[in-house]
Structure 1
Amino acid sequence: MSTLDVAKKDFLDVRRAKIVWFVGALYVLFMAMLVYFGQNGSQEPNILNALWNLTAVGAMFIPLIALVTAYLAIAGERESGSIKYMLSIPNTRRDVVLGKFLTRTSVVAVSIVVAFLLGGGLTLAWYPDPEMDAFAIMTALTVVYALTYVAVAIGISAATDSRSRAMGGSIAFFFVTSVLNVFGPLQFAIDYVANDLAGLEISMYQIAFVQSLVSPTAAYVNSTALAFPEGFNTIPPDLPWFLQGETMLVVLVGWLVVPLALGIWQFERADLS
Structure 2
Amino acid sequence: ASGSGKLLLGFPHSRADVVLGKLVGRTAVLGAAIVVGLTITLVVALALFDSFAPVDYAVFTAMTLVLALVYIGVMVAISATTGSGGRAMAFGIGAFVVLEILADIVPLAALFVVNGFSVPSGGAAVPAWVAFLNVITPSTAYT
TM-score, structure 1 length as denominator?
A: 0.46
Shift of 1:174: 1.1
**What's the counterpart of residue 217 of structure 1?**
139
**What's the counterpart of residue 208 of structure 1?**
131
Q: 1:190 is matched by which residue type in structure 2?
A: P
Please, which runs of 5 or more residues in structure 2 have no aligned partner? none
The 5 Å alignment of 1:48-127 reads 79-127=1-49
- Whole-Å separation in 2 of the counterparts to 1:92 and 1:188: 40
CA contact (8 A) 1:187 1:208 kept: no
Q: How many residues align?
A: 136
Please, which runs of 5 or more residues in structure 1 have no aligned partner? 1-78, 222-273
The 5 Å alignment of 1:92-241 reads 92-178=14-100, 180=101, 186-193=103-110, 195-199=111-115, 203=126, 206-213=129-136, 215-221=137-143
Which of these two proteins has the greater Rg computed from alpha carbons? Answer: 2
- Whole-Å separation in 1 of the counterparts to 2:128 and 2:37: 32
- Whole-Å separation in 2 of the counterparts to 1:118 and 1:85: 40
TM-score, structure 2 length as denominator?
A: 0.84
Shift of 1:82: 2.8
- Whole-Å separation in 2 of the counterparts to 1:188 and 1:155: 25
Runs of 4+ in 1 over 3 A off after TM superposition: none
- Whole-Å separation in 2 of the counterparts to 1:142 and 1:151: 14
- Whole-Å separation in 1 of the counterparts to 2:49 and 2:106: 41
- Whole-Å separation in 2 of the counterparts to 1:131 and 1:205: 34
| Alpha carbons of structure 1 residues 95 and 139: separation in structure 2 relative to 1, 3 Å | same
Q: 1:110 is matched by which residue type in structure 2?
A: A
- Whole-Å separation in 2 of the counterparts to 1:160 and 1:192: 30
| Alpha carbons of structure 1 residues 205 and 132: separation in structure 2 relative to 1, 3 Å | farther
Say what the alpha-carbon RMSD is for the aligned residues.
2.0
CA contact (8 A) 1:187 1:207 kept: no
- Whole-Å separation in 2 of the counterparts to 1:107 and 1:220: 20
Shift of 1:199: 2.4
- Whole-Å separation in 2 of the counterparts to 1:188 and 1:92: 40
- Whole-Å separation in 1 of the counterparts to 2:40 and 2:128: 36
- Whole-Å separation in 2 of the counterparts to 1:122 and 1:92: 45
